């Protein structure tokens, strides 16, 4: 099952097949696939940035709390946030039929 964000930004859980069907139908409504992919990129990037504020996944799953040793070494108590550079480095790139979201921060991969 996959999570699906509706137009009013509520969450539904649907199968991958249903998600692909809905995405396919939506793409048919647009003459320019880049336009829909760009909208997906914007939404995904915004939801990812919002995750840093809420300290949870875009689907509402809380992040694991910082360990006491981590808290002792950092300025604040926000999870995955020390300077804010990771959050502000999020970008997205459009492919012909895809959207990739990521960061150029090398240390991001050890946080996953």
Least confident of 12-21, 54-63, 78-87: 78-87
Query: Hey, which residues does 7 pair with through a beta bridge?
Result: none
Supply the Cα-derived Rg of the chain in whole angstroms: 17
- Dihedral, CA of residue 80, residue 55, residue 95 and residue 18, to nearest 10: 150
Burial class (CB in 10 A: 0-12, 13-18, 19+), 3: middle
**Cβ 5 vs Cβ 22: under 8 Å:** no
- Structure pTM? 0.57
Q: Quote the pLDDT of residue 23.
A: 80
Query: Tens digit of pLDDT for each residue in 31-50?
Result: 677 888 888 888 888 888 88
Model confidence at 3: pLDDT above 70: no
Question: Rounded distance, CA 84 to CA 98, Å?
Answer: 27
């Amino acid at each position: 099952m996959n999570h699906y964000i509706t137009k009013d930004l509520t969450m539904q859980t649907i199968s991958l097949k249903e998600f692909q069907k809905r995405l396919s139908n939506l793409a048919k409504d647009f003459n320019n696939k880049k336009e829909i992919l760009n909208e997906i990129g914007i939404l995904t990037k915004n939801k990812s940035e919002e995750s840093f504020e809420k300290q949870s996944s875009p689907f509402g799953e809380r992040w694991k709390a910082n360990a006491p040793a981590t808290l002792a070494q950092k300025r604040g108590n926000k999870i995955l946030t020390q300077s804010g550079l990771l959050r502000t480095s999020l970008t997205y790139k459009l492919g012909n039929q895809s959207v990739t979201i990521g960061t150029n921060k090398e240390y991001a991969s050890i946080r996953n």
